[in-house]
Structure 1
């Protein structure tokens, strides 16, 4: 079972998600913030009100997304730029 074990807010509507398979994905959730529940999260002060549950992240208003969905829409993080010595 895929689980989210760590989450970091990167800015705007983007999260860095670490999964129990050891992979990290960056997910821009802006395209998915519509409707009665998720539309509330367009208010960034509400978007940043999330917490980590046993398997997922959940927002203060009760919204959550399946870890499998977040993994699927996420992309691999960009490698850090290497500075020449």
Structure 2
């Protein structure tokens, strides 16, 4: 029996504010994608993202985008919700 290839963990390697509620995100697979966060800003703590200054103040942790250790999304989710450039 041969060894199965382990799936590589998908992470966010870079993110840049584009306009309004949109970020250009680079993933560890090399793809650059655009994500409009508007639909994600409608409920719960994610409403904080409606504040432009807060939205722009994201950082990257080793896996994904983070807002003040309060809001974060799985990198796979960000990938699925975004569109390829």
TM category (shorter chain) comes to 0.7 to 0.9
Asked if residue 3 in structure 1 is aligned to residue 3 in structure 2, the reply is no
Kindly report the root-mean-square deviation, in angstroms, between the aligned alpha carbons of the 2 structures: 1.0
- Write the distance in 2 (CA, Å) between the matches of 1:24 and 1:45: 23
Length, aligned pairs only: 77
Gaps (5+ residues) in structure 2? 1-8
**How far has the Cα of 1:61 moved from its partner?**
5.6
- For structure 1, which runs of at least 5 residues remain unmatched after alignment? 78-85
Give the superposition deviation at 1:35.
Answer: 2.3
1:36 Cα deviation from its structure 2 partner: 2.7
4+ residue segments displaced more than 2 Å = none
Distance 2:78 2:44 in 1: 20
Taking structure 2 as the reference length, the TM-score comes to 0.85
After superposition, give the CA deviation of every residue in 1:53-73 in whole Å (9 maximum; x if it has no partner): 001010026100110011001
Superposition TM-score, scaled by structure 1 size: 0.85
Distance verdict in 2 for CA 1:61–1:46, change over 3 Å:
farther
Compare 31-40 and 10-19 and name the one that shifted more: 31-40
* 1:33-52 correspondence to structure 2 within 5 Å: 33-52=41-60
